[in-house]
């Protein structure tokens, strides 16, 4: 915690985030030391906290294993370590949601996701509103039947949205900017297997405005190992995009990862 934060009376990160670990230890098991990516400085026009993304063309998203959830099957709040391609941690994400909604609605629950940097400062906020009848790809042409995420950075400033779009079989998503214009489209695989014996990756290709154009990146759910796949719903993802892509859109594509995880891979061990 910095001296200006102490003087301003800001509570320590353990109190802010309800954790027993300091910000530099987010995403670690006891006894481990996590290496954080150095923060780039003086990036003109870059929202505070997104400086990491100016030097990254790939992110690794590792959901943390929750032992209480594994032993009891009671859904807990998700937590994710977000790293660059060489394993240096860039961010940590943690879910804010209601216990009753997690138990009763499972992966259909509404939630808010807070993404913090190595100083414990919230740099991205992701919100998915609860919708009673969402999820069917055939009916996703209407707002009340399609899942969506709203992404802010800094908090209170919208930078984009991820919206499920109508499709016949394969999952489709529209990636929109702050003005609501579609910038990218995501197309998923036709069959997403929940079996523990399937060790392949599940790619969700990122296309320009038309799916007929070649993909410029991908979001891929990766095999996490037999024990993790068997006993937990903790997942590993990789997100790749062009190095020179606007950092705001990189943040929105990161947000799409959490929507895909919640829609297809949450609670899979219980299924």
SS (HEC) of the chain: CCHHHHHCCCCCHHHHHCCCCCHHHCCCCCCCCCCECCCCCCCCCCCCCCHHHHHCCEEEEEECCCHHHHHHCCCCCCEEEEECCCCCEEEEEEEECCHHHHHHHHHHCCEEEEEECCCCCEEEEEEECCCCCCCCHHHCCCHHHCCEEEEECCCCCEEEEEEEECCCCCCEEEEEECCCCEEEEEECCCCCCCCCCCCCCEEEEEECCCCCCCCCEEEEEECCCHHHHHHCCCCEEEEECCCCCCHHHHHHHHHHHHHHHHHHHCCCCCC
Residue 130 within any structural domain of the chain: yes
Total count of domains within the chain: 1
Domain assignment of residue 241, given as a range: 58-265
- Percent of the chain at pLDDT > 70 equals 73
Residue 27 within any structural domain of the chain: no
Q: What is the pLDDT of residue 15?
A: 46
* Range name among 64-68, 113-117, 147-151, 247-251 with the lowest pLDDT average: 64-68
pLDDT (average), residues 141-159: 88
Mean of all residue pLDDT scores within the chain: 80
> CATH number, domain at 175?
3.20.90
pLDDT higher than threshold 60 for residue 147 = yes
Of the candidates 172, 178, 161, 254, the one whose C-alpha atom is nearest the C-alpha of residue 207 is 172
Residue 162 within any structural domain of the chain: yes
Q: What is the pLDDT of residue 169?
A: 78
Q: What is the pLDDT of residue 26?
A: 57
pLDDT higher than threshold 80 for residue 144 = no
Question: Which of the two residues, 120 and 106, has the higher pLDDT score?
Answer: 120
pLDDT (average), residues 143-164: 91
Q: Summarize pLDDT for 253-269 with one digit per residue, the tens.
A: 999 999 999 888 876 54
pTM of the model: 0.81
Residue 259 within any structural domain of the chain: yes
Residue 118 within any structural domain of the chain: yes
Residue 168 within any structural domain of the chain: yes
Residue 143 within any structural domain of the chain: yes
Q: What is the pLDDT of residue 193?
A: 62
Residue 90 within any structural domain of the chain: yes
Q: Using alpha carbons, list the distances in angstroms from residue 209 to 140, 141, 159, 172, 216.
A: 18, 17, 18, 12, 11
């Amino acid at each position: 915690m910095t001296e200006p934060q102490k003087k301003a009376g800001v509570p320590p990160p353990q109190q802010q985030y309800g954790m027993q670990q300091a910000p530099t230890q987010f995403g670690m098991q006891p006894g481990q030391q996590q290496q954080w990516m150095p923060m780039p400085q003086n990036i003109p026009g870059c929202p505070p906290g997104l400086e990491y993304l100016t030097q990254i063309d790939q992110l690794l998203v590792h959901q943390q294993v929750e032992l209480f959830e594994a032993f009891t099957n009671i859904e807990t709040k998700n937590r994710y370590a977000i790293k660059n391609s060489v394993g240096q941690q860039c961010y940590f994400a943690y879910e804010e949601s209601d216990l009753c909604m997690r138990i009763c609605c499972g992966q259909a629950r509404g939630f808010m996701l807070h993404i913090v940097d190595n100083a414990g400062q919230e740099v991205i906020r992701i919100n998915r509103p609860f919708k009673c009848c969402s999820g069917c790809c055939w009916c996703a042409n209407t707002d009340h039947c399609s899942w969506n995420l709203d992404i802010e950075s800094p908090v209170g400033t919208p930078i984009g949205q991820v919206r499920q779009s109508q499709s016949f079989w394969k999952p489709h998503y529209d990636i929109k900017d702050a003005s609501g214009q579609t910038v990218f489209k995501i197309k998923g695989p036709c069959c997403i297997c929940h079996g523990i014996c399937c060790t392949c990756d599940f790619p969700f290709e990122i296309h320009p405005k038309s799916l007929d154009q070649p993909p410029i990146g991908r979001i891929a759910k990766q095999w996490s190992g037999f024990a993790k796949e068997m006993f937990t719903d903790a997942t590993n993802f990789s997100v790749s995009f062009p190095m020179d892509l606007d950092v705001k859109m990189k943040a929105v594509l990161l947000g799409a990862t959490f929507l895909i995880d919640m829609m297809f891979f949450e609670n899979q061990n219980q299924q």
